[in-house]
Amino acid sequence: MSNLAFRPGQMWLDHKGNHISAHGGGLLFFKDRYYWYGEDNTEGYLNTVGVSCYSSSDLYNWTNEGTALKQDDMPEELQGKNEGRIERPKVIYNTLTKKFIMWMHAEKKGYAFSSAGVAVSDQPTGPFTFLFYDRPVLFEPEEGFDAHTNESTLGNSFRDMTLFVDDIDSNQDGVNDAYVLYSSEGNWTMYIVRLNADYTWIDKSQGSNRLRPQCTAEDLGKIWSRQFVRKMREAPAPFKYRNHYYLITSACTGWKPNQAEYAVSDSPLGDYKIKGDPCRNDDNQTTFDSQSTFIMPLNPTKGSYIYIGDRWTPDQLGKSPYVWLPLQVLEDGQIEIIWKDSWSLADYQ
Residues that bind ligand DGJ (CB under 6 A): 24, 87-88, 160, 234-235, 254-255, 291
Please report how close the Cβ of residue 25 comes to ligand DGJ at its closest, in angstroms. 11
Please report how close the Cβ of residue 256 comes to ligand DGJ at its closest, in angstroms. 9
Closest CA to 184 of 161, 164, 208, 156: 156
Please report how close the Cβ of residue 16 comes to ligand DGJ at its closest, in angstroms. 26
Cis peptide before 297 (omega within 30 of 0): no
Strand pairing class (215-216; 137-138): parallel
Please report how close the Cβ of residue 299 comes to ligand DGJ at its closest, in angstroms. 28
* Shorter beta-carbon distance to ligand DGJ: residue 87 or 146: 87
* Shorter beta-carbon distance to ligand DGJ: residue 195 or 235: 235
Closest CA to 49 of 88, 79, 27, 6: 79
Please report how close the Cβ of residue 294 comes to ligand DGJ at its closest, in angstroms. 12
Tell me the residue nearest to ligand DGJ as measured from the CB.
254
* Shorter beta-carbon distance to ligand DGJ: residue 22 or 329: 22
**HEC per residue, the chain:** CCCCCECCCCCCECCCCCECCCEEEEEEEECCEEEEEEECCCCCCCCCCEEEEEEECCCCCCEEEEEEEEHHHCCHHHCHHHCEEEEEEEEEEECCCCEEEEEEEEEECCCCCCEEEEEEECCCCCCCEEEEEECCEECCCCCCCCCCCCHHHHCCCCCCEEEEECCCCCCCCCCCCEEEEEEECCCCEEEEEEECCCCCCECCCCCCCCCCCCEEHHHHHHHEEEECCCCCEEEEEEEEECCEEEEEEEECCCCCCCCCEEEEECCCCCCCEEEECCECCCCCCCCCCCEEEEEEEEEHHHCEEEEEEECCCHHHHHHCCEEEEEEEECCCCCEEECCCCCECHHHCC
Please report how close the Cβ of residue 188 comes to ligand DGJ at its closest, in angstroms. 14
* Shorter beta-carbon distance to ligand DGJ: residue 175 or 237: 237
* Shorter beta-carbon distance to ligand DGJ: residue 120 or 161: 161
* Shorter beta-carbon distance to ligand DGJ: residue 23 or 99: 23
* Shorter beta-carbon distance to ligand DGJ: residue 235 or 325: 235
Please report how close the Cβ of residue 136 comes to ligand DGJ at its closest, in angstroms. 19
Please report how close the Cβ of residue 118 comes to ligand DGJ at its closest, in angstroms. 18
Q: What angle do CA 317, 322, 328 make, to 5 degrees?
A: 150
Please report how close the Cβ of residue 292 comes to ligand DGJ at its closest, in angstroms. 9
* Shorter beta-carbon distance to ligand DGJ: residue 257 or 268: 257
Residue 167 burial (C-beta neighbours within 10 Å; 0-12, 13-18, 19+): exposed
* Shorter beta-carbon distance to ligand DGJ: residue 24 or 278: 24
